[in-house]
Structure 1
């Protein structure tokens, strides 16, 4: 390998504008993980890890409208404004970049989708990528010729129109196959879902189109864990646990903000939290819950103990970052970094795959 990037990417805000819980470093060490977070509002991806001395590392790169994240061994996928990025970790076990970083994610491929308002994405066990094409009210996969190929549309959607009818935004895999999607409203008119923000949200099973649960408020990020489906009842501010056989659900934890991203790991839920776009969460139960508890909304990441429902660790952004989108856990990594999506640093970052090729001797000719 040759030509590693230079100094660590600058933080988007002053160091004192990012606050972490005192136990975050220890939590990352005990679980032997790092994290990736996305903020579409600022167009940034953050890789969060820990240096050998225990100090938290924040490594930031810019990707326009950074949204859904997916991690597979050695790979990081990211949905952005008009494309999906695939980043590869080019470091071998034991290698370090810039002395401390045990992973270096480099952009290696992009898939141009156009402006489909791509929200969550995942890679099935077969290798097929699936994503929420929210603007077109469907679950989709990549096409070699076109922007996307639809693979599931709720039964109440009459046509693939780019007008965000039901706000299909989240998806869950089970057994390596896409199993559930969330929508914010049963609507078939442009932006029709907005009328159901308070309780019109649904969890839908892909195999037969059946509504598994209803009465949700702007649900996001379903995830299957054992016999349960966890999801974010975002308009209420709650992480909920749901029985997909009966639709029965219970609140697990309240988080002080609008919830959009969820990752489950080792008995914990990692949830991204956002501030309101205006002064308050007007018209949502979330605002009443914040008022009742006497707490202000936050922006960042909450790490919730699923057994107790307590927020045990956290990261709060307290400057210009107001909205987060997704979070994924990076198992086995301590301190990751990433190369830029463009520019001279990327041009100079050249790595060579190992090969069995025998190079011929070059003989100078007179």
Structure 2
């Protein structure tokens, strides 16, 4: 029997596959995912009775989310948030939650369109500044400090020239990034969505592979490079030496956000926005398969490419952005920045 959960704040019903709770339990993980469309952070875990818990909090235009050893980093409309787990080992909140993420710091960057976030070897965040076509870090005085930009980007300008969007970390450094095109003009990527996409090696600036359709979310796992060929609805594996691409799994939605854990990939999928799939292979492939686009989260077995479990959202939420796996956390929740709860939740270090 499929578990059903409602989200009354935004009129969205949430269903999960029959095996999803068992997958969370067997992997000893919980999940965080975001919806920038409705500005929400979702935390997914298991209640003591074994049913799936969904905790939602509002963060305006919630986008990139990154887990770092008990801490969450979250990008929003004009701030980068640091959320800390206020509970100690063995403690619980409300009799169910073993983790409570509290916003402890919100660094104001302005609207620079923060996409994905990683953690440098020194523990500080690095993030994709999509509006300025670069990777960036925080600065104590300014909105950001540039960290790296693609070789074809001639200057820092708030023009979203190539739609730099995804970042793979390796050994505490950005290793690979995705961009929808190699254009160096205002919004130039919009005319290159079908085949202009590239994965770039950060250290050398070389193009690892090209001819991608709106790629997102590169990740290095077990020595392999994975990414989302979003305009085709494919999770792909890329040979780092030759650039050869191998399709791993097709998902019926526009993919953004990828986490890899213990032989599984977890991806978020969105429905089209105002015909935004037009002219993309994704729409043609969904039609060819006689399917409908999903908004949800897919769990993919990397050995077989099978979609083994899922979360589905139906209703007002139709677009998701990023996902993170939280190892060792059973049932997490967070406290929102505009709630009475945050005023009354006080802990002493």
Corresponding residue of 2:327: 331
Match of 2:21, SS state, is helix
Distance 1:11 1:91, change over 3 A: farther
For 1:2-13, list aligned pairs within 5 A.
11-13=8-10
CA contact (8 A) 1:227 1:243 kept: no
Query: Cα deviations across residues 215-236 of structure 1 (Å, max 9, x unaligned)?
Result: 0000000000122110000000
- 35, 40, 44: which is aligned to 1:48? 44
Match of 2:189, SS state, is helix
Query: Cα deviations across residues 1-32 of structure 1 (Å, max 9, x unaligned)?
Result: xxxxxxxx9653567x2110010100000011
- 282, 297, 301: which is aligned to 1:301? 297
**Distance (whole Å) between structure 2 residues aligned to residue 338 and residue 230 of structure 1:** 30
- 144, 147, 162: which is aligned to 2:143? 147
Q: CA deviation at 1:349?
A: 0.5
**Distance (whole Å) between structure 2 residues aligned to residue 34 and residue 157 of structure 1:** 38
Specify the structure having the higher radius of gyration (Cα). Answer: 1
Are 2:189 and 1:193 aligned? yes
Q: CA deviation at 1:53?
A: 1.1
**Distance (whole Å) between structure 2 residues aligned to residue 236 and residue 343 of structure 1:** 40
Distance 1:33 1:309, change over 3 A: same
Match of 2:315, SS state, is coil
Corresponding residue of 1:127: 123
Match of 1:135, SS state, is coil
For 1:42-191, list aligned pairs within 5 A.
42-191=38-187
Corresponding residue of 2:256: 260
- 233, 236, 241: which is aligned to 2:232? 236
Corresponding residue of 1:220: 216
- 258, 266, 285: which is aligned to 2:281? 285
Corresponding residue of 1:360: none
Q: CA deviation at 1:123?
A: 0.8
Match of 2:318, SS state, is coil
**Distance (whole Å) between structure 2 residues aligned to residue 165 and residue 140 of structure 1:** 16
**Distance (whole Å) between structure 2 residues aligned to residue 115 and residue 215 of structure 1:** 30
**Distance (whole Å) between structure 1 residues aligned to residue 99 and residue 215 of structure 2:** 33
CA contact (8 A) 2:7 2:14 kept: no
- The answer to which of 154-163 and 78-87 deviates more is 154-163
Write 1 or 2 for the structure with the bigger share of strand.
2
CA contact (8 A) 1:205 1:212 kept: yes
Unaligned runs of 5+ in 2: 1-5
Q: C-alpha root-mean-square deviation of aligned residues, in Å?
A: 1.3
**Count of aligned residue pairs for this structure pair:** 344
